[in-house]
Structure 1
Amino acid sequence: MSANWHPVANAQPTEWLLRQGAAGAPYAVVRRFAFGDPNRPDVWFRVVTWAPASAGRELIGWCRTLEAAAAAGWDHRCAAESWRHHMAARRTDPATMASTRPSAADLVRFYRAALRRTPSAGSMSGAARTPAPAMKGRR
Structure 2
Amino acid sequence: MNEGGHRSPLTPEWDPLTTLVDGEPGEWFAGKGFDQPYAVIRLVEIGAERGYRVVTWAKRSEDRELVGYRKTLRGAASLAQRDRMNRVMRPLGRRDP
Q: TM-score, normalised by structure 1?
A: 0.48
Please name the residue that 2:38 is paired with: 27
Structure with greater strand share of residues: 2
1:47 and 1:35 map into 2 onto residues whose CA distance is 14
Please name the residue that 1:127 is paired with: none
- Which ranges of structure 1 fall in alignment gaps of 5 or more residues? 1-11, 88-109, 115-139
Please name the residue that 1:15 is paired with: 27
1:35 and 1:28 map into 2 onto residues whose CA distance is 20
2:43 and 2:91 map into 1 onto residues whose CA distance is 30
RMSD: 2.1
1:24 CA drift (Å): 3.0
> Residue 26 of structure 1 aligns to a residue in which SS?
coil
> Residue 47 of structure 1 aligns to a residue in which SS?
strand
Matches within 5 A, 1:1-139: 13-21=25-33, 23-36=34-47, 42-86=49-93, 111=96, 114=97
Runs (4+) off by over 4 Å: none
> Residue 38 of structure 2 aligns to a residue in which SS?
strand
> Residue 73 of structure 1 aligns to a residue in which SS?
helix
1:18 and 1:71 map into 2 onto residues whose CA distance is 10
Letter in 2 for 1:81: V
1:25 and 1:70 map into 2 onto residues whose CA distance is 16
1:52 and 1:33 map into 2 onto residues whose CA distance is 20
Q: TM-score, normalised by structure 2?
A: 0.66
1:43 CA drift (Å): 1.0
